[in-house]
Structure 1
Amino acid sequence: MVLSSIFGITKARDKPINHYGSAYSFLFGRSTSGKSVDERTAMQTTAVYSCVRILAEAIASLPLHIYKYSDTGKEMVYDHPLYSILHNEPNNEMTSFVFRETLMSHLLIWGNAYAQVIRDGGGRVIGLYPLLPNKVEVERGGNGQLFYIYSKDSDENPNFKKNGEFYLKQEDVLHIPGLGFDGLVGYSPIAMAKNAVGMTLACEEYGASFFANGANPGGVLEHPGVLKDPKKVRDSWNSVYRGTNNAHKVAVLEEGMKYQQIGIPPEEAQFLETRKFQINEVARLYRIPPHLVGDLEKSSFSNIEQQSLEFVKYTLDPWVIRWEQSLQKALLLPQEKQEYFIKFNVDGLLRGDYQSRMNGYAIGIQNGFLSPNDVRKLENLNPIPEAEGGNLYLINGNMTKLKEAGAFAEDTISQKSIDVEENNAAKQNRRRQQ
């Protein structure tokens, strides 16, 4: 009752939640292929695991910094308390890489990522601890404010000493929602595409069963008479000829028995093509280029770099913006939001090959918008001393303003006219003197 009065809990709003079972056909549960799909079974498929790992590791490996607005643009801030938390250790149990990798995997599987925010007396963040999304519910109190209910039944978070439900205020939770219909709670990509993931699981199970049965589809044992114990004959046959270790063994049939294969060969059922398509289907779900999940069929030396750049721009960048805005909203104090901002650095992923970078740097230096030290900073090299010209901005001397392009020609014509007039005047003076 005390918690109810504090948070103003009324009737829970209608909201999307991750639910196990068949009550909600669009959430986790049995798919049309007959396979049950949830976050653990989905991660057992190589395509889902690979896509989640690629995006989670990409976000976790990007440099994450705190910046301050300045008269010249922006400058990195190292002495802000959030810098060490986001860049080094969000808590005393995890590195920044592990923390971001964990939250990103939650976001890709459940559609939401949550972290408990630990603050000091002044409201500044001193620690971040991940919260399992399947144990978090988002509610709205009678005062209109959001709050979070966390159901603890294991020891994943050291800040909750006992098991049970814990109510957290909005400012005490870092929430990064994925794509959703209400802007508050994201939907799980796996749940929304459970039929595609279920078919991938079914294909893998079919392939495993195919090889478990000696790489041969099922068949029928025909007997000319009446069998007293068909089960004994079937079990005897399976014990000798079933399994990959018994494949291609010579079958010995007695009493006029015949074996007739009735299954469809996998090449006729396009088993391999189906498996390949399902891999691309999962890659499409996460907008991952096929070559990153091991499908190089349509990749070449001429287009693979472009595909990698498109991955950064069209796949990774939206996730980066989602992270940056959520971090700024939840972690910066109100008075700090006008002065500071949080940003990932993706410049390293957008760089081309060595020759392309050098050509670009040369153009930048020749046209005066890059100095040698600007280039060395981008390449992670030590700067050239200022006395040696490291900070000079140079430009080609042959270039001039467009409006002054004909000025030199006009001056030359005018000067020639003056010279001709002077020569004519000099000749006339000499004639008069003679």
Structure 2
Amino acid sequence: MGNLVLRALQSPLIAQKRNAQPTSYLNEMFSFINGGLTTSGEVVNYKSALSLSAVYNAVDQISNDIAKLPKGIYRKEGDNRFRDLLHPCDYLISKRPNRFMTQFSFHKALMVHALLLGNGVAVIKRDEYTGVETALELVKPADLLDIKKVNGDLTYYIKGMKPLNSEDVMHIPGFSFNGIYGIGVFKYAANNMGAALAAERFADDNFKSKGLLAGIIKSKNGIKKEAKEALSNAMEARLSKGGTHNIGFLDEDMDFMSITANAQEASLIDWKKISIEDVARWFNIAPHKIKQLENATYSNIEQQSLEHGSDTIMPWAKRIEEEYDYKLFTEEERATHYTKINTNALIRTDIKTKGEYYSRAVNFGWKTRNEVRHLEEDNSIDGLDSPLTPANTKTLEEINKEFAENGS
């Protein structure tokens, strides 16, 4: 009897859960995409923020670095790893995701969306009969209408398409509280970047007006109200005229006193430096990567370049790798296949660092000389396929074997 009563009490709750509306992530996900008014009075969204050179360069740098990294599908066979060039997804992620885009342009656009809007999304197209992946099609931010949790599964609503299950959608979220959707950086950086936009606007107005934006006309003689208004309007029209030759005239015993702070007093130069550093923090990128070189030296730039790879690029590369691993492989393939984005390629342009890396790899035996040649697109040379073993790291067994082979 007790169980029947309990079930009777629970049944309305169960029915309520079954009939509950799907959870939508639309409102939070698209915060500040369409713009928000900040304390500085500036409207900040991803379009207005891109007018700041530091924001544009930060997004351009990070997206370029992800796009230029080599990508491929690898297969595990025991302790060995091999590039699986025959896997259909290898060509998609390394050469041509779809017939309109190269892998560079695809991954760059995907990262631009993720960096600015918090979410980079692409649809995975599969053959109707075989289920084999045939294309990765980028989704425009405006075409992503909603993401909902329906019956415990994520469903994506994209303009012009039927609702898609999560396994049919590549989704790279940025900063996230729940791991499902990313939040655009401007949700929290809006006021900070709004102040930077206001400084840019102030500088522009200051240059246009030659620094004379407001002022007071002083006179030793009394002037009637109508004359004051006429004189004020005339001076305002003259000062706002612009141009290289703009000379005003005041009657005798009249002086003009500017009450607007000039650029130096407003510390515009210092503010621009601060805003660049703030942008670097928001996008987690070293200041020298967005051309702030004031405190840069050769030694600290080299260190910051290494940190750029490990702290800025690698987390984004890891997000993409894990999404590819889950969405592009069958359950059986996941045990033997994985995606690799080679972040080591970031050191290719640093000859000194690259040389030291190769030297250590060869001398300590964890790469053969031919493997290093392959990294430089050079052909193999006979006799360079065996790893080197430093004499002071040989085991006793290896030493005894050499003595036995030499007859000593």
Q: Distance in 2 between matches of 1:181 and 1:193?
A: 16
2:339 maps to 342
Q: Distance in 2 between matches of 1:169 and 1:66?
A: 24
1:27-42 superposed matches below 5 A? 28-42=35-49
2:7 maps to none
Question: 1:123 and 2:131 equivalent?
Answer: yes
Q: Distance in 2 between matches of 1:398 and 1:308?
A: 33
Shift of 1:345: 1.0
Q: Distance in 2 between matches of 1:205 and 1:93?
A: 38
SS of structure 2 residue aligned to 1:58: helix
Q: Distance in 1 between matches of 2:162 and 2:395?
A: 68
Partner of residue 18 from structure 1, selected from 17, 30, 36: 30
SS of structure 1 residue aligned to 2:122: strand
TM-score (norm 1): 0.79
Partner of residue 391 from structure 1, selected from 376, 385, 395: 385
Larger CA deviation: 211-220 vs 75-84 = 211-220
Q: Distance in 2 between matches of 1:33 and 1:133?
A: 27
Shift of 1:382: 2.0
Question: 1:53 and 2:47 equivalent?
Answer: no
CA contact under 8 A between 1:218 and 1:263: conserved in structure 2?
yes
Q: Distance in 1 between matches of 2:153 and 2:59?
A: 33
Q: Distance in 2 between matches of 1:335 and 1:403?
A: 40
1:81 maps to 88
CA contact under 8 A between 1:214 and 1:243: conserved in structure 2?
no
SS of structure 2 residue aligned to 1:48: helix
Counterpart amino acid of 1:252?
F
1:139 maps to 148
Counterpart amino acid of 1:206?
F
Counterpart amino acid of 2:134?
I
Larger CA deviation: 308-317 vs 130-139 = 130-139
CA contact under 8 A between 2:212 and 2:239: conserved in structure 1?
no
CA contact under 8 A between 2:70 and 2:345: conserved in structure 1?
no
Q: Is the radius of gyration larger for structure 1 or structure 2? A: 1
Shift of 1:228: 2.1
Shift of 1:12: 3.5
Partner of residue 44 from structure 1, selected from 47, 51, 69: 51
CA contact under 8 A between 2:24 and 2:149: conserved in structure 1?
no
1:258 maps to 255
1:310 maps to 307
1:414 maps to none
Shift of 1:351: 5.3
Closer, same or farther: CA 316–359 of 1 in aligned 2, 3 Å? closer
Shift of 1:241: 3.7
1:5 maps to none
Q: Distance in 1 between matches of 2:32 and 2:228?
A: 41
Counterpart amino acid of 1:31?
T
1:207 maps to 203
2:107 maps to 100
1:412 maps to none
SS of structure 1 residue aligned to 2:281: helix
2:8 maps to none
CA contact under 8 A between 2:32 and 2:44: conserved in structure 1?
no
Q: Which runs of 5+ in 1 are unaligned?
A: 1-7, 22-26, 153-159, 406-434
TM-score (norm 2): 0.84
1:325 maps to 322
C-alpha RMSD over aligned residues? 2.7
1:94-243 superposed matches below 5 A? 94-120=101-127, 121-136=129-144, 137-141=146-150, 143-150=151-158, 152=159, 160=160, 166-223=162-219, 224=221, 225-228=223-226, 232-242=230-240
- Which 4+ runs in 1 deviate beyond 4 A? 229-232, 396-405
1:246 maps to 244
Counterpart amino acid of 1:202?
A
Counterpart amino acid of 2:197?
L
Counterpart amino acid of 1:183?
G
Q: Which runs of 5+ in 2 are unaligned?
A: 1-17, 400-408
Shift of 1:331: 2.0
Counterpart amino acid of 2:148?
E
Q: Percent identity?
A: 30
Q: Distance in 2 between matches of 1:399 and 1:322?
A: 38
The superposition leaves residues 379-409 of structure 1 with CA deviations (integer Å, 9 ceiling, x where unpaired) of 332221x2xx22233345576558999xxxx
CA contact under 8 A between 2:35 and 2:44: conserved in structure 1?
yes
CA contact under 8 A between 1:123 and 1:333: conserved in structure 2?
no
Counterpart amino acid of 2:73?
I
Shift of 1:99: 1.1
SS of structure 1 residue aligned to 2:58: helix
SS of structure 2 residue aligned to 1:51: helix
Counterpart amino acid of 1:199?
A
Counterpart amino acid of 1:53?
D
